[in-house]
Amino acid sequence: MNLKSARHLVNGSWHTAGSAKDVTDPGNGSTVGEVAWGTAGDATKAADAAAEAFGSWSRTTVRQRADLLRTAAELLADRRDELAHTLALEAGKRLPEAQGEVDFSVEYFRWFAEEARRTTGTVSPPELQGRRHLSTRKPIGVALSLTPWNFPVSIQARKLAAMLAAGCTVVGRVSEKAPLAATGLFEVLHDAGFPAGVVNLVHGPSREITAALMSHPAVRAVSFTGSTGVGRQIMASASERVVRPLLELGGNAPFIVFEDADLDAAVEGAVLGRLRNTGQSCVAANRFLVQDSIAEEFAQKLGARFDAMSIGHGVPDDGAPVPDLGPVIDADRVSAVQALVDDAEERGARRVTQRTSVPAQGSFLAPTLLADVPDDAPLVTEEVFGPAAGVVTFSSEEEAIRKANATEMGLAAYVWSGSPRRGWDIPEQLEAGIVGVNDPLPSVAFAPMGGAKQSGLGREGSSLGLEEFEEVQYVAWRP
């Protein structure tokens, strides 16, 4: 595999048209590889190839598609360590988390290989003698898969596996901040034997490439994961040609801890929920809502866990242990998270964690927990996307739910309680697409992933993920 150079894949051939940009390691600023920097013309060629391939690919049998997806899953599993190593370097991940991301990606190919075979329709009983009514599901057309840097492999896998299972052809664009391992994923698909033009990839300036792809007449669906701001722009441009949008956008997940929760388990859940991928996950626990009777104990225990974390490069030199926390993606993310923390402190929030020093080279931040955070502090009203969070208190179930829902975001939410009743009742009242009850890591390939409110439209994974790339056709038939 060529994991040093992220090239374009167009109509079954790899190339590096245009200029190139360096890809850097957030853990030390060194160059990891380079990404080809194409133009709108390259994007149009990729969409042309996908359009040309659609006719024959959309008519393959589900058996053929399932077999290729299974082959891709096996090949991806074989290349796991190589891909994970590059992914860890370019995205600043801890090596075990990068390995976990590739393993998770394999699951999407396995799941959609199976799900492809369940693309069934219905036959409705007629009201007139002899008449027939059938509905069938067909691939929607050329689909775009546009993804961010935080889980660059698994988010592409979630989209690509569903699109290909449905019978769509694809053009992908990945974030220039972490394009190498994701390009390795496209190489897996190419090597697995997907026919020329079925899977295409183009790198380059986001606006120009996306605009060219969105205006291509064969493009019928766009699946975008990223910030809500860019998601709005994608949705606006999708309206011009009535392209079907699937949007997985930002979050602001409340992590609600009731006084009947197992406190130590809640603290461990909070560590994972907040600090997985150095806090840069769309489903991350963004703010801690804790019942006032246990809030101080929760904050002290969580603060102590944060303070005890080792911080360093996610792929340490030979023999050294992997640290508990890696870098964030770049210096801009360091400043953005730091600004939220400084602002909350200026508003009167109390620092629970110590001021730990971090490695001088690379984009590092010490994990930070603040208590007594005012309800209107951006640290709790905005998506932090980094290793910092605030604790806000509540006194009743009603107050917890009101505060949890007081956001335009609605991707994930977490509830920690020992009460089975609360396990049922609270999720029903939360405006979130995903709820973890005593579970900080809800994502699995076979369950629907997606958000409510401004966190997005549509669902990925599960059987619903396949339907996003299908068109239902109804046939009324008088034999």
Ligand X SMILES: NC(=O)c1ccc[n+]([C@@H]2O[C@H](COP(=O)([O-])OP(=O)(O)OC[C@H]3O[C@@H](n4cnc5c(N)ncnc54)[C@H](O)[C@@H]3O)[C@@H](O)[C@H]2O)c1
Residue 249 interacting partner from ligand LB4VBGO6, ligand X, none (CB closer than 5 to 8 Å by kind): ligand X
Q: How many residues bind ligand X (CB under 6 A)?
A: 26
Residue 39 interacting partner from ligand LB4VBGO6, ligand X, none (CB closer than 5 to 8 Å by kind): none
Handedness of CA 451, 452, 458, 462 (dihedral sign): positive
248, 460, 468, 470: the active-site residue: 248
* Binding track over 388-427 against ligand X, x by CB under 6 A: -----------------------x----------------
Q: Which of residues 186-225 bind ligand X (CB under 6 A)?
A: 206-207, 210, 225
Closer residue to ligand LB4VBGO6 in complex, CB, 20/447: 447
Residue 227 interacting partner from ligand LB4VBGO6, ligand X, none (CB closer than 5 to 8 Å by kind): ligand X
Q: Looking at the DSSP assignment, which residues form a beta bridge with residue 14?
A: 9
Q: Does 233 bind ligand X (CB under 6 A)?
A: yes
Closer residue to ligand X in complex, CB, 51/209: 209
Residues that bind ligand LB4VBGO6 (CB under 6 A): 150-151, 154-155, 281-283, 443, 449
Instruction: Give the side-chain half-sphere CA count within 13 A for 311.
Output: 23
Residue 462 interacting partner from ligand LB4VBGO6, ligand X, none (CB closer than 5 to 8 Å by kind): none
Shortest distance in whole angstroms from residue 224 CB to ligand X: 7
Shortest distance in whole angstroms from residue 468 CB to ligand X: 13
Q: List Cβ neighbours of 233 (8 Å cut-off, separation of 6 or more).
A: none
Q: Is 138 helix (H, G, I), strand (E, B) or coil?
A: strand
Question: CB 275: neighbour CB atoms within 10 A?
Answer: 24
Q: Which of residues 252-311 bind ligand X (CB under 6 A)?
A: 282
Shortest distance in whole angstroms from residue 137 CB to ligand X: 24
Cα–Cα distance measured from residue 223 to residue 244, given in angstroms and rounded to the nearest whole number? 8
Closer residue to ligand X in complex, CB, 131/232: 232
Q: Does 71 bind ligand X (CB under 6 A)?
A: no
Q: Is 282 helix (H, G, I), strand (E, B) or coil?
A: coil
Q: Does 468 bind ligand X (CB under 6 A)?
A: no
Closer residue to ligand LB4VBGO6 in complex, CB, 359/442: 442
Cα–Cα distance measured from residue 348 to residue 374, given in angstroms and rounded to the nearest whole number? 8
Evaluate whether 285 touches 440 at the Cβ level (below 8 Å): yes
Mark the segment that binds ligand X (CB under 6 A) among 48-56, 110-118, 246-254, 306-314: 246-254
CA triplet 410, 413, 415: central angle to 5 degrees?
Answer: 155
Shortest distance in whole angstroms from residue 479 CB to ligand LB4VBGO6: 48
Q: Looking at the DSSP assignment, which residues form a beta bridge with residue 82?
A: none
For every residue of 168-237, DSSP letters joined together read -EEEEE--TTS-HHHHHHHHHHHHHTPPTTTEEE--S-HHHHHHHHHT-TTEEEEEEES-HHHHHHHHHH
Evaluate whether 289 touches 403 at the Cβ level (below 8 Å): yes
Buried residues in 162-199 as b, exposed as e (16+ CB within 10 A): bbbbbbbbbbbbbbbbbbbbbbbbbbbbbebebeebbb
Residue 149 interacting partner from ligand X, ligand LB4VBGO6, none (CB closer than 5 to 8 Å by kind): ligand X
Between strands 31-37 and 5-6, the pairing is: parallel
CA triplet 390, 395, 397: central angle to 5 degrees?
Answer: 100
Residue 167 interacting partner from ligand X, ligand LB4VBGO6, none (CB closer than 5 to 8 Å by kind): none
* 470 given a catalytic annotation: no
Shortest distance in whole angstroms from residue 155 CB to ligand X: 6
Residue 154 interacting partner from ligand LB4VBGO6, ligand X, none (CB closer than 5 to 8 Å by kind): ligand LB4VBGO6
Indicate which residues carry an active-site annotation: 248
Binding site for ligand X (CB under 6 A): 146-150, 155, 175-176, 206-207, 210, 225-227, 230, 233, 248-251, 282, 383, 385, 411, 451, 456
